[in-house]
Amino acid sequence: MGHNLKGALYALLAFAIYATHDVVIKFLGESYNSFQIIFFAGLMGFPLISFMLMSDRTDGNLIPRHPWWSLLRSLTAVSTGAAAFYAFTVLPLAQTYAILFAMPLLITVLAIPMLGEKVGPRRGIAVVVGLIGVLIVLRPGSADLSLGHLAALLAALTGSLTSVIVRKIGAEERSAVLMLYPMVATFLLTGAAMPFVYVPMPLEHLALTGVIAGLAFVAALLSIMAYRTAPAIIVAPMQYSQIIWAVIFGALLFDEKADFYTLVGTGVIIASGIYIVMREGTGSVSINSPVLSNKSRPETGLMPRISLLLRKRAD
């Protein structure tokens, strides 16, 4: 089996597990606040995260070289997690994914002022077309926009900002610093919210928060295997397979039906995202490759970013 095919299969399996992870979030979201779900999932995943961080043998301390960027990135990571978890609980799965798939478009736009990225007319047109796809999904004026839609848009925006910040300071910051601070911020801020949102959880629901952490961990490991086996240009587009699982899980488990506009808009967004990935992959087009260097789903603070784990293992 060729390396490209093997890497693609690892990625497809990883994103199938991520989709299952999101189903559990949606199920628990029917009874609990997203802050509570994130808090306990992070608590359950802490031993796995500690194992990852302890394996970093590089010299140095945990003081960031770019404290303000690190603080902003920690806050955007917490915002992304809370917003994405909430969106999954109140919106149809397919619609949530469609909006989150706008991340490559937003990363491309944010990379212009923050990284000095030069975006030519082809990628510029792809961004505009992709954003039109988002409007097709949302249908402002003809469909009711809810807090869930705004949360999904916020998650896409803050997730994109997080990715660009990592790209901006990643070469100068220690991997352990980049991984640790967002997770600590997530634990502290969601913990601070517990007195206001906590609802007692039966043992089986508490166990499901552990399932969320375990699925995220396994999917992260599979993603690492995918990116270490095949080029990013092969692996990255596999994320869009999640829309297939969203339609299947949504129909079977939550009685959701992906409407015509959601499917059309999603197709436009996916086509634009794949085109941007392909353009970055040509080498001479992008000086930063901000989308290809992302290698992660929207960051939730539960698990380290894939790009950082890949870099740590390569050091």
Among the listed residues 48, 261, 26, 54, the one whose alpha carbon sits nearest the alpha carbon of residue 141? 261
Radius of gyration of the chain (CA): 18
pLDDT in tens, the chain (315 residues): 688 899 999 999 999 999 999 999 999 999 999 999 999 998 888 777 766 666 555 555 677 888 899 899 989 999 999 999 999 999 999 999 999 999 999 999 999 999 999 988 999 999 999 999 999 998 876 667 789 999 999 999 999 999 999 889 887 877 777 778 888 888 899 999 999 999 999 999 999 999 999 999 899 889 989 999 999 899 999 999 999 999 999 999 999 988 889 999 999 999 999 999 999 888 778 888 899 888 888 777 777 777 776 765 544
Tell me the residue length of the chain: 315
**pTM: predicted TM-score of the whole model, two decimal places:** 0.91
At residue 274, what is the residue type?
A: I
Among the listed residues 104, 93, 84, the one whose alpha carbon sits nearest the alpha carbon of residue 150? 84
- Find out whether 187 and 133 touch, Cβ atoms under 8 Å: no
- What phi, psi does 130 have (nearest 5°)? -65, -40
Among the listed residues 185, 189, 190, the one whose alpha carbon sits nearest the alpha carbon of residue 72? 185
